[in-house]
A and B are shown apart, each in its own frame.
Chain A
């Protein structure tokens, strides 16, 4: 699905990623674990094209994403979406959630499928009324579910889940991971699951890689 080879990244003198190599297979949940500051989030930002690596390749559908310009990268960007640990920072505080949720569709010139949005709202056990609220009027669990719905409306092939439940309570965590797993199986999606919670990782993922001292082990 996606092949990462010889990836290096430093910030100043500090080497964050050192010769990272891995392949994400189709329909696989690959977990990347490591302590805070180990470079997990930097790696996800590089895959998303938000940061350029110092060296290395990311091959997706036969194309090296690292060497693409912004315009060419956009063709592939819809296929790779991210869910962050702090979803409220992804939502405009002055915009109602219903509008924010469909905003990325506009960026990719796609039309909203009302039925699909309704089904996802139902699947994620949300009340439709939540769409009429502002980000500060909903709980952390509700806004995280909406951020996942927003990503799924784009029908991505790869979802990067960057500590998606670390800010949530355990019951909401269990519900969200259960739904994500069902969707992944139904749609044969691939997930990169970034976490520091080994118990969750063992239950949720097919394969685990450990990022330590800037290297994958």
Chain B
């Protein structure tokens, strides 16, 4: 119970001139009771994947396939039914907290909106808001409730946004690039904050990030996404990468000397028969141009590369 299962799931953004395929033939289970990370470069489809679960894709996005949650295909639910999952089942911490919090409303009002889903008694709402803010490290929670977002630092805004997301006790938390643009000290606080989520009773988390160290220190399992597909997933992907893309991605970390991955990512409008990484891959064979690899089991991982096809 509680797993999120994608079955032949696709997301296309159709315009008059082109069809941008953001998520391609996704067959995947994101397990509950774990912290799962999705890493990958900008534009690979990782945010679109999480917005698909939340039902927050823009109207012009066309989806096909299914997403199952608690044995229900949530893509088949009417919008008004699906909206009820937000807050109760799924909490969302979007990237850039300063843009996610309303600039013209005090934190109290923004907290109350979320808590209103589970609690109607105003005194209880106030009590719970204060408790959560205290737990999140605010020494003077009452003062925070009376502030506007611009009166808080970037790190404080992120803690408030996390507090709002967890206040209605959802089963899952989805966090999109929680460390983007934060300086090193705030990043450390952010890591501790996410580790703490379990103590709030939230033990299923999906974190989308391009911060390898953050994912390494936080996640039980990591999925690597490239050009709309998961190319590798497992428990030690970032320490022991197998897919040529994952290896190149890790090598481009500043601590590894920022080595450049040659070539450019295929346009999401481009359909090809073979592997979507083949045009940049140093291990490419003829087969890579002719067939699209599936995810092969190898040691503790699943890898979308023919190098790991043992003919099973």
Nearest CB in chain B to that of A178: its residue? B260
Question: Inside 8 A of A139's CB, which chain B residues have their CB?
Answer: 42-43
Interface string of A102-136 (1 = CB under 8 A from B): 00000000000000000000000111010010000
CA distance A37 to B154 in the complex (A): 10
Residue in B closest to A163 when the chains form the complex, CB atoms: B181
B252 and A166 form a contact (CB under 8 A): no
A94 contacts partner chain B, Cβ-Cβ < 8 Å: no
Given A167-B181, A169-B40: A174 and B269 interface contact (C-beta under 8 Å): no
Chain B residues lying within 8 Å of A173, measured Cβ to Cβ, are 252, 254, 258
Q: Are B252 and A170 in contact (CB under 8 A)?
A: yes
Complex CA gap A177/B264 in Å reads: 15
B257: Cβ under 8 A from any A Cβ = yes
> With A129-B18, A137-B13, A172-B42 in contact, is A196–B249 under 8 Å at CB?
no
| A6 interface hit (Cβ, 8 Å) | no
The digit string for A156-193, where 1 denotes a CB below 8 A from any CB of B, is 00000001001111111111011000000000000000
Question: Interface on chain B toward A: helix, strand, loop, or mixed SS?
Answer: loop
The reply to whether B43 and A200 form a contact with Cβ atoms under 8 Å apart is: no
Tell me the complex Cα distance, A22–B257, Å: 28
Closest to B180 in A: A167
Segment from B72-80, B116-124, B131-139, B183-191 that makes contact with A: B183-191
From A197, which residue of chain B is reached at the shortest CB distance? B254
Complex Cα gap A175–B280 (Å): 14
Taking the complex as formed, is B210 at the interface, i.e. its CB lies under 8 A from any CB of chain A?
yes
B255 at the interface (CB under 8 A from A): yes
> How far is it, in angstroms, between the C-alpha of A168 and the C-alpha of B267 when the chains are bound?
18
Most chain A beta carbons < 10 A, residue from B18, B180, B258, B267:
B258
Q: How far is the CA of A52 from the CA of B248 in the complex (A)?
A: 45
Q: Does A54 contact B (CB under 8 A)?
A: no
Q: Tell me the smallest distance from the CB of B155 to a CB of chain A, in Å.
A: 8
Given A132-B17, A197-B254: A169 touches B210 (CB 8 Å cut-off):
yes
Pick the most buried of B42, B153, B212, B253: most chain A CB atoms within 10 A of its CB.
B42
Known A141-B42, A171-B41, A172-B42; judge A203-B254 contact (CB<8 A).
Answer: yes
The reply to whether A171 and B261 contact each other, CB–CB distance below 8 Å, is yes
B40 contacts across to A, CB distance below 8 A: 169
Are A142 and B258 touching (Cβ within 8 A)?
A: no
B contacts with A, residue count (CB < 8 A): 35
| Residues B187-237 near A (CB distance < 8 A) | 210, 212
B261 touches A175 (CB 8 A): yes
Q: List residues of chain B with CB within 8 A of the CB of A171.
A: 41, 248-249, 252, 261
B295 in contact (CB, < 8 A): no
CA distance A90 to B33 in the complex (A): 41
Contact with B along A131-151 (1 / 0, CB 8 A): 010000111111000000000
Q: Give the CA-CA distance A36 to B181 in the complex, in Å.
A: 10
Q: Is the CB of A142 within 8 A of B43?
A: yes
Contact present for A200 and B254 (CB under 8 Å): yes
Given A174-B261, A178-B260, verify A169-B255 contact (CB < 8 Å). Answer: no
| A213 interface contact, C-beta 8 A | no
Cα distance A197–B13 when bound, in Å?
35
- CB atoms of A174 and B260 under 8 A apart: yes
Q: Which of A125, A163, A196, A200 contacts B258 (CB 8 A)?
A: A200
Q: What residues of chain B lie closer than 8 Å to A167, measured between beta carbons?
A: 180-181
Closest CB pairs A-B (n = 9) = A139-B43, A169-B210, A199-B254, A141-B42, A174-B252, A125-B264, A139-B42, A174-B258, A196-B183
A residues touching B (Cβ–Cβ < 8 Å)?
A: 35-37, 85-86, 125-127, 129, 132, 137-142, 163, 166-175, 177-178, 196-197, 199-200, 203
